[in-house]
Amino acid sequence: MPDSTSASSRPTVPAHEDRPVYVIGGGPGGLAAAYALRARGVRAVVLEKSDGVGASWRRHYDRLHLHTTRRLSSLPGLPIPRRSGRWVSRDDVVRYLEKYAEHHELEIVTGVEVSRVEPAPDGTGWLLHATGGRRLTGSAVVVATGHNHTPRVPDWPGRDAYTGEFLHAREYRSAGPYAGRDVLVVGAGNTGAEIAVDLAEGGASRVRLSVRTAPHIVRRSTAGWAAQFSGILIRRLPVRLVDRLARPVARIGVPDLSAHGLPRPGTGLYSRVTEGAIPVQDVGFVDAVRGGRIEIVAAVEGFDGGKVVLADGNRIEPEAVIAATGYVRALEGLVGHLGVLDAHGRPVVHGARCPHTAPDLYFTGFTNPISGMLRELAIDAEKIAKAVAHRAQRPERRPLPAH
């Protein structure tokens, strides 16, 4: 596991007159950006708050595999080994990220959390406030803290008094602890659907999935054609056209689950994607629902003692509730004061573009593209590195505005 000694030539972040580019976050996006910068001759220092790279991947549930192909999930400068197979497992992703940092000799400092980024006192570059009272000055900053940063749990009435077991999907690892138990999974995204399958296959006595909005479901692969390939092809097509084309494909490829409480969505597939809802990729979910191993129930409205109150008025009493209700980016404390976030806390730009009020501040990994997160992180890394190198060659740097 890379740490501040093995992945960096120094145990702490030194102050250099050349002001390195600081990359906040040692996940795939941060590592890819650091390599791409280094490949262009720009010194990049990765600041990672945990004790190793790929921290969020280490926390994912055991059965997780990429829904994107190995070939289109590699980061710049190092392919994922063929022995990892077409659909790479969580453990192999972690091993790959460790190898990536080691292979490229990236400068990584672990155990350092950046709490605030603000303009440097001299008006050029950025000042980072980090753990241990560190004040680090960089020529540019790449924020790569990740899309899945902080678990989001709705403020359901009565949840604090719920007497059953309650956990966020981030804490779920495997079905073992739930064998023979009645479990409710809340949230019909890819995580919720896959955890429900894992529970059904792992011996839970009853598995229910609470659904507020019926998701679009696609096959991960059809006759060797990965859904990711289609995602790449349609990205630049008009939304309405993709919605129209997707309807007959869905009818042919995915059975109608209306009789099981999961009707086909009323809105178009790509329209939902533009709103941030990625289709559920089927890894056994459809068969489990059709076979009655996963029961679909209404959305959760609240809790009452040991019971869960559903939107249709029913009250159920599972032994455990797993909330697959997503994450928030939690960027407000870090950069919210710079005017670079929208009303939902998302960066107003990403990739090679900087906010007009914050030159040399870049964001990567805060979208959820249908073409594959790792693929887009790799593309963003190259674009960011090119933009940073280009700006560094300018004879005069525009000073940062005061905040």
Domains and CATH numbers, the chain: 21-149+329-392 (3.50.50.60), 152-323 (3.50.50.60)
Retrieve residue 242's tokens: 């993709």
pLDDT at position 4: 42
- Report the amino acid identity of residue 341: L
Sign of CA dihedral 351, 355, 358, 359: positive
pLDDT at position 12: 37
- Tell me the pTM: 0.89
pLDDT at position 65: 96
Terminus-to-terminus CA distance in the chain, angstroms? 39
CB 101 within 8 A of CB 31: yes
Element housing 22 (H / E): strand 21-24
CB 172 within 8 A of CB 319: no
pLDDT at position 228: 93
State the burial class of residue 251 (Cβ atoms within 10 Å of its Cβ: 0-12, 13-18, 19+): exposed
Quickly list H helices, 87-145.
90-103
Quickly list H helices, 6-146.
28-39, 55-58, 90-103
Which parts of the chain have pLDDT scores under 50?
A: 1-17
How far apart are the C-alpha atoms of 378 and 351, rounded to whole Å?
Answer: 10
Give the chain's mean pLDDT: 92
pLDDT at position 111: 96
Listed in order, strand segments (DSSP E) in 25-168 are: 44-48, 107-110, 114-119, 126-130, 134-138, 140-143, 150-151, 165-168
